[in-house]
A = this chain, B = another copy of it.
Amino acid sequence: MIYRLNETHDNKLRSWVESANAPGCDFPVQNLPYGVFRRRGSIEEFRIGVAIGAQILDLRKAYAAGAFDDTDELTLSAIEAARASTLNELMALGPDAWQALRLAVSRLLREASPAQVTLRQALLPQDEAEYSLPAKIGDYTDFYTSIHHATAVGSLFRPDAPLLPNYKWVPIGYHGRASSIGISGQRVRRPMGQIKPTGEDSPSLAPSARLDFELEVGILLGGGNSLGEPVPIDEAESKIFGLCLLNDWSARDIQAWEYQPLGPFLSKNFATTISPWIVTLDALTPFRTPWSRPAGDPLPLPYLDSPATRSLAGLDIDLEVLIQTARMRERNEAPQRLSRSNFKHSYWSVSQLVTHHTVSGCNLQAGDLLGSGTQSGPAPAEAGSLLELSNGGRKPVALNNGEQRSFLEDGDTVVLRAWADKAGFARIGFGEASGTIVEAVNVKP
């Protein structure tokens, strides 16, 4: 593990940005996630900010105001890279630079910092901001790391053998579509596609009637590798900049008809929504958990195994998915929780995903995004998709207001949230990734 607890993780730290000290706040001074923002409705250039309480510290303005004038060379290289319009440049500098910038920003934002006088003009309230993708995403790969999700979905198709023989050996993944990744608030048009109902002779083109969310963690890579040069397991962590929330919207009926033999395609590529704030792996240091395998499961092959990755490979991050239907919104009813899970249930660690991805020689690049796959927990109520929660659509989920859902309807907003919380440490929140379903376009059937 390359990150260690240091002064930036100290639970006692408070910020001169008062909202950062509120209990339950996602963005205390111990978090300091990065995002790309501008004033909502403006035509300003997007720029990098750090979330602090209910505010955003504009790094470009902070630099211009002289806040980093007396800093060392490493921090200076990082803050200069952070004046760009995406995180790619900063990410490409590597963990030493990321840690240096985190320390400098932490010190600037602490209660007694003399910089607060000048930095107040570099703040923008989050509710006055709009966000862009935090990085130029080159390639996007989606994994399948929840054995509970794989088993639950497998049992819908193969009741006798739900889990395929490769699952406990291979971190299963597939390449996804980068161009349709959007930021929280995305309006997701219900996809059209070929659908073949059971018993019908032929498919027809129709709007998906089994539109679903998938509760996932996104892993934003800050470093890569050259083509043909795999990343050893003990170096994998240094390639990971941070995590976010990711909703891998899925059209189950399109998927069922198209996916043999080459995997999901149109059933996934119409939209993927991520949260705007990238929580660094550094900020999550207190929440690492030992990695373990259930008794009887095979150990990973040596290229995916090392003492370091075994000791603290997991991440204890609470995950939650909520729904707000159109009717709830009309009546000003808050989103209702559908499920709660935790990233620690992941069968494969984030380091294992990076190493496996590159063992073929495949080159990763700063700005690549990995999806964890749907993070369902062991209990049925911890499922990360409606497919699972409604048992394949057979048992609709009852909502508090009398509505029910087997799959998503037009007007539904799905909200993903996440946070890490542990006695003795500040709560590290992820904000949210929300998206709203809008009606399908009219294509001649």
Contact = CB atoms under 8 A, between A and B. Distances in A.
B174 A265 contact: yes
A372 to B, nearest CB: 14
Contact of A139 (B166, B178, B264, B444): B178
B258 A303 contact: no
A179 B365 contact: yes
Contact of A175 (B144, B170, B229, B269): B269
A444 B302 contact: yes
A164 B261 contact: yes
A227 to B, nearest CB: 6
Interface residues of A, number: 68
Interface in A251-298: 251, 254, 257-267, 269-271, 298
B444 A265 contact: no
B361 A271 contact: yes
Contact of A205 (B154, B172, B260, B302): B302
Contacts of A267: 360
Given A172-B262, A445-B302, A359 B193 contact: yes
Contacts of A189: 227-228, 361
Interface of A: 138-139, 141, 144, 154, 164, 166, 169-170, 172-180, 182, 189, 191-194, 196, 202-205, 227-230, 232, 251, 254, 257-267, 269-271, 298, 301-303, 356-357, 359-365, 368, 441, 443-445
30 contacts: A138-B178, A139-B177, A139-B179, A164-B261, A166-B196, A166-B203, A166-B258, A169-B194, A170-B203, A170-B258, A172-B265, A174-B174, A174-B263, A174-B265, A175-B177, A175-B269, A180-B227, A182-B227, A189-B227, A189-B228, A189-B361, A191-B359, A193-B359, A227-B270, A262-B263, A266-B356, A266-B362, A269-B360, A302-B444, A302-B445
Given A174-B264, A179-B364, A262-B263, 4 more contacts: A144-B262, A180-B362, A202-B298, A205-B359
